[in-house]
Amino acid sequence: MGRLMLAGNLLPNAILCSPAARSRETCLLLQQEWTFDRNVDWNPALYHCPATRLCEILRTANSAAECLLVIGHNPGLADFLFATVQFEESFPTGALAQLSVELDSWSEFHPETVINLEDIWRPREVIDP
């Protein structure tokens, strides 16, 4: 996924990541594919995080981040996708969803914010770029 993000110009300005072992490992593996590290907010609230709580966490994200990567856990991330963009398909471990929002600052984010689903990549579907 790191190479896909690099090839697709999807590199984040900031990362919100659960400090759980698998999430940390995922974050470090992604960053190995990039030529520079990103600022990571190791946020324990992302562990067992329901969709409503994720909305609250997003409001606290780095306001300067135009592209934010969230690395967390299911079922919370899948529930967030369903609640915000009505995505009902499988969102397995290691999957990547590209969402877009029109905000001047993450502090403006709320549960009714209009979110667009741009694309979804699942590990088994990704061909190495």
Question: What is the number of structural domains in the chain?
Answer: 1
At 29-43, the pLDDT tens digits run 998 888 777 789 999
Q: What is the CATH number of the domain that holds 88?
A: 3.40.50.1240
Residues in the chain: 129
Q: Does the predicted TM-score (pTM) go above 0.85?
A: yes
At 84-120, the pLDDT tens digits run 999 999 999 999 999 999 999 999 998 889 999 999 9
- 102 and 114 in contact (C-beta within 8 Å)? yes
**Which residues constitute the domain of residue 97?**
2-125
Strand partners, 98: 119
Buried b (16+ CB within 10 A) or exposed e, 51-74: beebbebbeebbeebeebbbbbbe
